[in-house]
Structure 1
Amino acid sequence: MPRTADHEQRRRQIALAVCALVSEQGIDAVTVARTAAAAGISVGLVQHYFRTKDDMLLHAFAHVSASIRGRVDARIRAGTEHRRPIARILAEAMAEFLPLDETRRTEFRVATAFAGRALDAPALAEVDVATARALRADIAQAVRNGKECGEVEPGLDPVPAAVRLAAVTEGLAMQVYRDPEVLNGVPTADLAASVIDAELAAVFTGECRQYLDR
């Protein structure tokens, strides 16, 4: 049967409750009963949509991933619309993965809790691996696009570059989470931006020719 708008709304309501519990109390706080209380619905209704804790975590992780993806897509659209270089667009997209505000800190806690749970749950591990691969694939495509428009040297291999940039994004996210305000005497958001810019400058070494003839 096709899912109704009410069905999707209920699932979103539960996902938000799981995210709130993980963010405020940690993954061990996520139970069917607590999720129901946080969502303001009955235990039976939660069980109607999700049979297990892992099912709820998987859906919460999907919700977080979709939220980040939506913001990244908006950055790409805006960047293309304003004819920004690919490196600038990618810098803004990478920043969406950093816990620089309360929304992104909650997303980071959920994603990290999910990754930890995935260590001992093969079904969740598959999703975790697929998500990481998708990020690398997106970055690799940006590098390929950079080669076409002149921002990246023709001989550069996009895959190692994508692995490097994805690793920087993931590691930087953890550093930002640990010290959300100041790192080494510098505002965290400023330092994070400078790290991303430096890493991108090592890959995107040329000038964008994309809009010269338009």
Structure 2
Amino acid sequence: MLAPLLPGERAPRPRAHGRDGFRGVDRQLLERAVLPVRSAIIEMLPLDDERRTEARIALAFLARSAVEPVYAATLREGYPYHAVFFAEQIRRAQQNGEAPADLVPEREAVILFAITQGLVNPTLIGHYTEETVVDAVDRHLDRIFPGTGRPGA
């Protein structure tokens, strides 16, 4: 999960993806713009113990930010990074012919972030299984990045 940093904190090193969302990913997908978007989304979801812990911390931070302006400001500062990243990847995919030209990258980025955040809490409490969540993410990504070679797409 991409959580906001408090003053003085260092960003964590990226971790290797072991049993996360790369299972069953076609070789074609690995060469396409969808991969960094998918990787970022999977990283933000509580699909293993480490990310469940991070999601619980982020949820507490979010609750605190609802009543503490300083915490809210920190969150507001971090949110645009997700949108910029997603929009840049979609724009790149459009340039490479991997995404429809009529998509508005900034709008799609907002939707991707909202979907991801909307999956966090239900997944955290066990309402959705890992398979259901990853399938939902992949199906939405198939709409943005059609023909990426995902099995069942």
* TM-score, normalization by structure 1: 0.56
Return 5+ residue gaps in structure 1 as ranges: 1-56, 76-81, 209-214
* Selected match of 1:70 from 14, 21, 24: 14
Change (3 A) 1:59 1:103: farther
Distance (Å, rounded) in 1 between the aligned partners of 2:119 and 2:96? 28
Relative contact order (C-alpha < 8 Å, sep 6+): which is higher?
2
Aligned-pair identity in percent equals 31
Determine whether 1:201 maps to 2:142: yes
User: Residues 135-155 of structure 1, C-alpha deviation per residue, up to 9 Å, x if partnerless?
Assistant: 111111111111111111122
Check whether the contact 1:137–1:162 (CA below 8 A) recurs between aligned residues. yes
Distance (Å, rounded) in 2 between the aligned partners of 1:104 and 1:116? 18
1:96 aligns to what SS in structure 2? helix
Displacement of 1:93 after TM fit? 2.0
Q: Which residue of structure 1 lines up, in the alignment, with residue 6 of structure 2?
A: 58
* Selected match of 2:67 from 120, 132, 147: 120
* Selected match of 1:90 from 37, 45, 52: 37
Q: Which residue of structure 2 lines up, in the alignment, with residue 166 of structure 1?
A: 113
Aligned letter for 1:198? R
* Selected match of 1:104 from 41, 51, 65: 51
Displacement of 1:126 after TM fit? 1.1
Check whether the contact 2:87–2:109 (CA below 8 A) recurs between aligned residues. yes
Aligned letter for 1:173? V
2:102 aligns to what SS in structure 1? coil
Determine whether 1:129 maps to 2:73: no
Return 5+ residue gaps in structure 2 as ranges: 18-28
Displacement of 1:206 after TM fit? 5.2
Q: Which residue of structure 1 lines up, in the alignment, with residue 100 of structure 2?
A: 153
Larger radius of gyration: 1
Distance (Å, rounded) in 1 between the aligned partners of 2:6 and 2:118? 23
Check whether the contact 2:99–2:145 (CA below 8 A) recurs between aligned residues. yes
